[in-house]
Structure 1
Amino acid sequence: MLHTHSSLLASLAHATMVDAAAPSGPGSATMAHAPLHFEQLGLSPIALDLGFFTIKWYSLAYLVGIIFGYWHLSRMIRQPGAPLAQRHAEDLFFYATLGIILGGRLGYAIFYGPELFAHPQDLLKLWQGGMSFHGGLIGTVLAIAFVSWRNRLDFLRVCDYIAPCAPIGLFLGRCANFVNGELWGRAADPSLPWAMVFPGGGAVARHPSQLYEAGLEGIILGTILFVLFWKTRARWRPGLLMGTFACGYGMARFIVEWFREPDAQLEDFAHATGLSMGQWLTVPMIAIGVLLIVRALRRPQVGVTVQSLPQ
């Protein structure tokens, strides 16, 4: 019994000495939290590998995002007063997919990788990555404009119905970026519980900015748009949903860019202008979004009684 008490006292004394030797003050938090390492998560960019055929998570994210958008749009247009019919949704599904792919790739080449134009064949190598959201957005808007013009639809109201379908694709795309270990963030304080060391990012603990974007652009913005469409009369105010999307995405992206590492080829541009390329591209989005929201709120709602469109 005496021996047991002696062992217990010795253990307490040792613990006290260790606590006394531990550093205190501002630097102690850094010692307490070791940053996470991406490799420890065991993630792979490949979702399915059949040997002769592989599917990557990034490609799957695009595919699922587009399919979900088509499914959700089909549900939305069943509500009273929809500005388009199912046959128009099918046209939009086809042309918007082209707009996302072609616009996204060309946008990346224009805004982030002009060197691709020196080797035009590289523009077709989508599997090597490099897609711009802003380019994809422009391509999608052009696709909507074409389908609206050809079928004499209200362009702005069609955009309102497309806007709530986009955040799920943004969420999945950013999650795929994280799985790929790409587009990581700026250096973070190692004491940050979720700071992470990414492959290719050196031994520096960084912000997982891909997940920040997934949360802001996908979950939060998507929730706002879903509530506005399904729980309010926002769809009766032309431009309100599209304006909310443009403004919401622009602000989310502008914020996240403070934590996201600029593209290597654009670091000098970011230092020279004080803002990253991504932030500059969001400025007109925010301005257009605010204008659309103000315009929608200042004008009367469209009539509730709307003729049914031919299916």
Structure 2
Amino acid sequence: MSLISLLADAAQAVPGTPAHQPIYWVNLGLRKGIDLGFFTLRYYSLAYLAGIMLGYWHLTRMIKAPGAPLAQRHADDLFFYCTIGIILGGRLGYATFYTGGDTGIPSLWADPKALMSLWNGGMSFHGGLIGVLLAMAWVSWRGKLSLIRVADYVSVCVPFGMMFGRLANFVNGELWGRVVTNPDLPWAMVFPDGGPLPRHPSQLYEAGLEGLAMMIIMLTLYWKTRARFRPGLLVGVFTTGIAAARFTVEFFREPDAQLREFAEHTGLSMGQWLTIPLIVLGLMLIARALMRPALASGRPAAA
């Protein structure tokens, strides 16, 4: 059964209710993980694992196509170091951007034990992005590879993880959206910890924009065009697209409780402020790639 059908069934769960009756998350029968008795396997952890494994599988396919700037051993190294970068970068980014200061939450930097308690939640997209960039820089430097071309290839694989991660947020009933202004919105949803008012299921918006839409765009550019022969084009499109998607969805997403006052004071959420430099960087990469001649075979011609 598709997710849309499931949502529709939930909306009609109570006989005689009007068409605009909000969907209740608790009626969807979702669970946060698989209870193994001695341990609960969280779907959020499985989402990270699925995104990383699918990205690695697709990268191994990509490097078999003409013009690949890296070999299988480099893909193996990227898989290892990017996994570390995602986890550590995401956690450290959350500690930096979303705790301490005026957030009302004690800084995780001052509590190493809490900082490493990944199972308690708290991961930053921008921190994970920095972690992946550092991982790519290390593998590129050690393997004498072009960083911009490595970034092109990795960027095609990232939307897999973005989609799975946001779907896991929805399954967990977390990171829900703002209260809807249109009471007749058919997919408005009441979340367990979000109060009695219906909200936007912004996790699904993010899964659709940051995940599925970017996946279609990036896969099409790689497999159906010669974009991979223009260094920086793929990563530029990805950076611009993912940042624009995040900026848009933030209008529907409830700001983190500790940063709600910051969003009201500045007019934009922390996530939106952090995406603006990414949009500028992405557009610069696209312009640079299009102004330079395409590579004939994917590798610079010998002098």
> TM-score by structure 1 length?
0.87
Task: List alignment gaps of at least 5 residues for structure 2.
Answer: 1-16, 101-106
2:252 is the alignment partner of 1:259: yes
2:54 partner letter: F
Q: Give the 5 Å matches for 1:230-249.
A: 230-249=223-242
Change (3 A) 1:236 1:197: same
Higher-Rg member (1/2): 1
Task: Give the equivalent residue in structure 1 for 2:288.
Answer: 295
User: Within 2, Cα distance between the matches of 1:118 and 1:151?
Assistant: 36
Which one of the candidate residues 31, 37, 41 is aligned to 1:44?
A: 31
User: Within 2, Cα distance between the matches of 1:59 and 1:194?
Assistant: 27
Q: Give the 5 Å matches for 1:199-210.
A: 199-210=192-203
Query: Percent identity of the aligned residues?
Result: 64
2:158 is the alignment partner of 1:166: yes
Which one of the candidate residues 114, 117, 134 is aligned to 2:126?
A: 134
Contact 1:257 1:276 in 2 (8 A): yes
The alignment's C-alpha RMSD in Å is: 1.3
Q: CA deviation at 1:59?
A: 0.1
Partner of 2:41, secondary structure, is: strand
User: Within 1, Cα distance between the matches of 2:122 and 2:299?
Assistant: 43
2:61 is the alignment partner of 1:75: yes
User: Within 1, Cα distance between the matches of 2:55 and 2:298?
Assistant: 26
Contact 1:31 1:191 in 2 (8 A): no
2:92 is the alignment partner of 1:106: yes
User: Within 1, Cα distance between the matches of 2:155 and 2:165?
Assistant: 16
User: Within 2, Cα distance between the matches of 1:88 and 1:34?
Assistant: 52
> TM-score by structure 2 length?
0.89
Which one of the candidate residues 269, 280, 298 is aligned to 1:276?
A: 269
User: Within 1, Cα distance between the matches of 2:19 and 2:238?
Assistant: 41
Contact 2:237 2:282 in 1 (8 A): yes
1:61-97 CA-partner distances (Å, limit 9, x unpaired) = 0001000011000000001110000000000000000
Task: Give the equivalent residue in structure 2 for 1:5.
Answer: none
Q: CA deviation at 1:148?
A: 0.2
Change (3 A) 1:222 1:271: same
Contact 2:50 2:161 in 1 (8 A): yes
User: Within 1, Cα distance between the matches of 2:237 and 2:99?
Assistant: 30
User: Within 2, Cα distance between the matches of 1:296 and 1:253?
Assistant: 24
Partner of 2:44, secondary structure, is: helix
Task: List alignment gaps of at least 5 residues for structure 1.
Answer: 1-29
User: Within 2, Cα distance between the matches of 1:155 and 1:119?
Assistant: 35
